[in-house]
Amino acid sequence: MLTAKNIVKTYGTRQNKTEVLKGIDLKIEAGEFVSIMGASGSGKTTLLNVLSSIDQPSSGEIIIDNQNIEQLSNRQLSEFRKNDLGFIFQEYNLLDTLTVKENILLPMSIRDVSKNETNTLVDTLVKELGIEESVNKYPYQISGGQKQRTSAARAFIHEPKMIFADEPTGALDSKSATDLLQKLRDLQQKNQATIMMVTHDPTAASYSDRIIFLKDGQVYSTLVRGEKKQDMYYREILDTQRVLGGVRHDV
* Greatest distance between any 2 Cα atoms in the chain: 58
Distance CA 20, CA 34 (A): 21
Distances (CA, A) of 135 to 102, 108, 123, 180: 8, 16, 9, 17
Residue 219 · residue 34 · CB < 8 Å: no
**Greatest mean pLDDT range, 54-63, 70-79, 242-251:** 54-63
**pLDDT bracket for residue 248 (50, 70, 90):** very low
Confidence check: pLDDT of 99 > 90:
yes
Confidence check: pLDDT of 185 > 90:
no
Give the residue from 3, 14, 25, 10 showing the smallest Cα distance to 58: 10
Average pLDDT score over residue span 7-33: 88
Q: Which of the pair, 26 or 172, is modelled with greater confidence? A: 26
Which residues are CB-contacts of 194 (< 8 A; sequence separation ≥ 6)?
1, 2, 28, 29, 30, 31, 32, 33, 161, 162, 163
Average pLDDT score over residue span 236-240: 90
Average pLDDT score over residue span 56-68: 88
Name the strand (E) or helix (H) holding 80: helix 74-84
Confidence check: pLDDT of 158 > 90:
no
Model confidence, pTM: 0.85
Please, what CATH class does the domain formed by 31-55+73-245 belong to?
Answer: alpha beta
Average pLDDT score over residue span 64-69: 85
Average pLDDT score over residue span 189-193: 80
Average pLDDT score over residue span 128-140: 90
Give the residue from 121, 130, 114, 113 showing the smallest Cα distance to 154: 121
Confidence check: pLDDT of 27 > 90:
yes
% pLDDT > 70, the chain: 97
% pLDDT > 90, the chain: 31
Distance CA 147, CA 152 (A): 9
Confidence check: pLDDT of 141 > 90:
yes
Distance CA 211, CA 195 (A): 12
